Amino acid sequence: MAVGNTFGATSFCSYGAYWITFALISDLEPTDSAKGAGGTCHNETLMGLFMLAWFIFTTLMLLCTLRSSLAMFLLFFFLDMNYLLLGIAHIQCSSHGEVLIAVQKAGGLCGIFAAFAAWWNAFAGIADTSNGFFTVPLGHFPWSPIVHAHRAKAKEV
């Protein structure tokens, strides 16, 4: 926030809070009354609703990346799909009696892709011509301000 990056401050602080909350929710043992009234499936449904709430927030963040780079867009796209698929897998427990393993694995795979995209973005943000022999390509959308500036510079020449 100190450098004026509201998007970065909002997203990184929010996802930090997500992990703290996720750890607290995952660590809580269900009470005896919850076990009797649906047991683990009740808890799975609550975890699914938690994931779907983060899916909505991540969708909003995804829309904000459309003027940025393709790498940043892919990070939030895969993170969004991760939350959606994991939310569906957890919520389906209440109707099927167990977590849908295939949907859960697909969500996990999207999470792995999101992690790769996050490391790519982090390295691209650190590595530049002042400290490395190459820069990492991010891929920019045709409508992004960087592409417009590059085109304007090319027209001047």
Query: Which are the contacts of 49, defined by CB distance < 8 A and separation ≥ 6?
Result: 87, 91
In which domain, by residue range, is 15 found?
A: 6-156
pLDDT in tens, 57-109: 999 999 999 988 999 999 999 999 999 999 999 888 766 656 688 899 999 99
| Domain total in the chain | 1
Q: Which residue has the higher pLDDT, 60 or 6?
A: 60
Q: Is residue 1 part of a domain?
A: no
Q: How does residue 157 score in pLDDT terms, banded at 50, 70 and 90? A: low
Query: Which are the contacts of 14, defined by CB distance < 8 A and separation ≥ 6?
Result: 57
Q: Is residue 84 part of a domain?
A: yes
Q: Is residue 108 part of a domain?
A: yes
User: 48 with 90: CB under 8 angstroms?
Assistant: yes
Q: Which residues pair with 140 in a beta bridge?
A: 69
